[in-house]
Chains A and B, each alone.
Chain A
Amino acid sequence: MKLLNQSLAYLSISILLIVSIWSVVFYANMLDEIYDSIDDGLANYKLLIINKAAEDSTIFSKNEFGESNYALWPIDKSEAIQVKDSYKDTLMYMLDEDDKEPVRMLTTAFEHEGQYYKLEVISSMVEEDDLIEDMFWAIFWLYLLLIISILLINNIVLKKVWRPFYDFLEQIKNFRVNKDSPLPTMKTRTKEFLELKHSCDQLINHTLDAYADQKQFTENAAHELQTPLAIIINKLELLVEKNSMENSDAEMMAELLQITSRMTQLNKSLLLLSKIENKQFFDNQAISFNELVEQTMIDFEDFASFKEVLVKMEASQEVTVTMNRMLASTLINNLIKNAIIHNQAGGEVIIQLQQGKLIIQNTANNGSLDAKRIFKRFYKNGQSQQNTGLGLSIVEAICKLYGFGVSYQYIEGKHSFCVELEV
C-alpha cells in the first residue's frame, strides 16, 4: 500500500471513529438538554395549573387531554401519597401527523381543599427519529468534508512534501553498483530525508568500496592462480617434449597435464560463479535461444556422436530472451553438455523450446538424482572424475541473476531440466 494511501486509511478510520464517538456524545447531550428543558416547562406548567385551580374550579372537570395539555382526576389520599413527580416518554395520537407520536408526560398529585387529585401534563417532543436522522446527515457531511479535505491535502501537500523521497527512491532503484552512475541526489530541506540521504550515501559508498575490493580480489585471484597454472602447464609440456623419458614417466606426465587442466577449469568455473554472483554481467541484449541451441548442438556434434547420443531440438516457437550473451550460451552449454555426459550409449537428448520455457531431457544412465542437492556446488553423482561439479551451480546462479526458475524432475527414466525464462 502506498504511503499516501496508508496515511489516508489511518486518518479516515480514526476520523470516522472520532466523529462517531463525538456524535454519540453530542446526541446524548442534546437529548439530555432537550428533556431538561421540556421537563422544566412541564414543571412550570404544573405550578401554573395548580395555581389556576385555586381560582378557577372548572379545571377539575378536565378529565381528558382534549385540546389542552393536561388532565386531572380525584384520587384517594393513600394513593396520592404514593404518587411522586415522574417524567416519562409515551406515545399519543397526533391529529396533524395522523399517527402516534412521542410526548413527554409529567405525572403528579396535589391537594386542593382537602381533596387529592392526580395531574398529568404533556408536552409534544421534538421527534426523536427526525433528530437522529438530521444529526446523522450533519455528521455524514462533516465526515465527507473531512475526508475530501484530507484527500486534497494528501494529494497536494503530502505529495509535495514526499516528492523528494519518491524521486530519491526511483534513483536508488536504478542505481547499479558496477556502472559508473552518480550517487542519487535529493533536493530537500526535510531533516529526516536529509538523514536518509546521508545514510544511503554512506551505505552506497561502503558498498562501492566493498564491490571494488571484491572485484579487485576476483581479478587478483584470477591473476594469481592463472599464472602459476600457466607455468605448470607450459613446463610440463616442455618436459614431455624433451622426449627423454620412459613411457611410464610420460604417462604420469600426461596424467599431471590432465589434472592441471581440470584445475584450470575449476578455477575458471569458480571465477565465473563469483562474477555472476557479484552481478558483473550487464550488457544485456535480445538473444534467440533457438539459434543458440542450434549453435551449441553443432559444437557438441562430435562429442555426442562419440558418446552415441542423439541430440535433437523440438522448438514450437521462437524464444527470445534479453540477457548477457556469454551467460546465455554458458547456461545452454552446461545443460546440454550435462545431458550428453550423463547419458547412455544409444540414448537421446531432447531440447524443447516452448513459450518462455527451455526443457532439456535426457535418458538417464542410473536413476533419479537428488533434486534438492543437484544444484549445489561440487555435487557429484556417479563416478565422473573429470566433472568439476560446478556446471549446474553455474546454471542456477545464472537463472537466479535473471530471476528465471530452474527445476529438475525425473520422469519415466529421463532426467528433465526446465528453465522458466519468463520473469
Chain B
Amino acid sequence: MKILAIEDEKELLKAIKNSLEKEQYVVETAEEYHEALDKLFVYDYDCILLDIMLPNGSGLEILEELKKAGKSGNVIIVSAKDSLDDKLRGLGLGADDYLTKPFHLAELNARVKAVLRRKQLDGKNTVEFGNAVLDLGNRELRIGGELVVLNRKEFDILNYFMLNKNRLVSKTALAEHVWGDHTDQADNFDFIYYQIKNLRKKLQEAQANLEIQAVYGVGYKLGES
C-alpha cells in the first residue's frame, strides 16, 4: 500500500510518516504544491493525505486537478480549517474524508484504513485479529465463529482498537472517536473505563485471545494474549 502525505509542516509530516510506517505502508511525502502535483501525476497512490494550505498553491487546487484527471478518490483532506464551507467544498471535489487538525494518530490510522478498505472491498468488509472477526457491515463480533453481542459503544470501541492493533490509543482519542466532540469538558474520561471493563468481560467470557491493556495513565492498547 502506497500513501502520499502532502503537508508543509515538516515535523507533522515526520510524525504522520512514522506512524503510518508502523502499519507497514509505504509512505511518500510532498511539502509543497508543485512537488505534490509532480508525484501525483507520475505515480499511483492508494491513499493521499492532503493539506489545504500549501506553499505555492492550495490543496483544493490539487484536488481539482485530480478530479479533472479522474483520480480524486482515496483522498483524505487534513486541514486546520474546520469551516463547513471548506469541508463541503473538499468533499464536493471528490475527497473521501476530512480530518481537522489537531488529530490523534489513532484517528488518522482509522480513517486511512477506512479509505483503503473502501478501495479494496473485495466482497468482505471485516476486520480480523486473533480469533476475533468484526463484521463492519452487520456490526457483529464473532469469536471463534461464535456471535458475541455488543452494544453500540462497545462495538465502536472494539472497532477503533482493531483498526489500531498493538498501538497505543489514548483516552482522549478514544473518547473523541466514540463519543464525539461533546466529551471535551468532561472533567475526566473515567466513564470510558466502565465501557472498557464491560468489553473486557465479554471478550474474556467468549474466550477471545485478545486483550485490552491499560497503558499507564495514557490509554489502552489491544494486543493478542
Residues of A in contact with B (beta carbons under 8 Å apart)? 219, 222-227, 229-235, 237-238, 240-241, 247, 250-251, 253-255, 257-258, 261, 264-265, 268, 275, 280, 283, 296, 299-300, 302-303, 305-307, 326, 333, 337, 341, 384-388, 391
Partner among B81, B170, B182 whose Cβ is within 8 Å of the Cβ of A237: B170
Contacts of B43 in A (CB 8 A): none
Contacts of B168 in A (CB 8 A): 237, 240-241
Contacts of A234 in B (CB 8 A): 12, 15-16, 19, 102-105
**Chain B residue at minimal CB-CB distance from A266:** B184
Q: Is the CB of B215 within 8 A of A237?
A: no
Q: Is the CB of B215 within 8 A of A229?
A: no
Contacts of A333 in B (CB 8 A): 182
Contacts of B173 in A (CB 8 A): 237
Q: Is the CB of A238 within 8 A of B18?
A: yes
Q: Is the CB of A387 within 8 A of B187?
A: yes
Q: Is the CB of B191 within 8 A of A306?
A: yes
**Chain A residue at minimal CB-CB distance from B172:** A261
Interface residues of B, CB < 8 Å — how many? Answer: 44
Q: Is the CB of A250 within 8 A of B12?
A: no
- The docked-state distance in angstroms from the alpha carbon of A224 to that of B219 is 28
> In whole Å, how far is A305's beta carbon from the nearest beta carbon of chain B?
8
Q: Which 3 residue pairs are nearest across A and B when measured between Cβ atoms?
A: A306-B191, A230-B102, A226-B80
Q: Is the CB of A223 within 8 A of B81?
A: yes
> In whole Å, how far is B52's beta carbon from the nearest beta carbon of chain A?
9
Q: Does B11 lie at the interface of the complex (its beta carbon under 8 Å from any beta carbon of A)?
A: yes
Partner among B81, B103, B187, B218 whose Cβ is within 8 Å of the Cβ of A384: B187
**Chain A residue at minimal CB-CB distance from B188:** A386
**Further 11 A-B residue pairs, CB within 8 A, beyond A237-B173, A238-B19:** A223-B81, A231-B9, A232-B102, A234-B105, A240-B215, A240-B218, A264-B102, A268-B184, A302-B191, A303-B179, A385-B187
Supply 5 A–B pairs (Cβ within 8 Å), ascending by A.
A219-B81, A225-B80, A226-B80, A237-B170, A387-B185
- The docked-state distance in angstroms from the alpha carbon of A240 to that of B82 is 28
Q: Does B180 lie at the interface of the complex (its beta carbon under 8 Å from any beta carbon of A)?
A: yes
Q: Does B84 lie at the interface of the complex (its beta carbon under 8 Å from any beta carbon of A)?
A: yes
Q: Is the CB of A223 within 8 A of B185?
A: no
Q: Does B111 lie at the interface of the complex (its beta carbon under 8 Å from any beta carbon of A)?
A: no
Q: Is the CB of A254 within 8 A of B218?
A: yes
Q: Is the CB of B53 within 8 A of A223?
A: yes
Partner among B9, B83, B84, B216 whose Cβ is within 8 Å of the Cβ of A247: B216
Q: Does B42 lie at the interface of the complex (its beta carbon under 8 Å from any beta carbon of A)?
A: no
Within B161-202, the residues touching A (CB, 8 Å) are 167-168, 170, 172-173, 179-180, 182-188, 190-191, 194-195
> In whole Å, how far is A177's beta carbon from the nearest beta carbon of chain B?
15
Partner among B84, B103, B182 whose Cβ is within 8 Å of the Cβ of A326: B84
**Chain A residue at minimal CB-CB distance from B84:** A326
Contacts of B185 in A (CB 8 A): 265, 337, 341, 386-388, 391
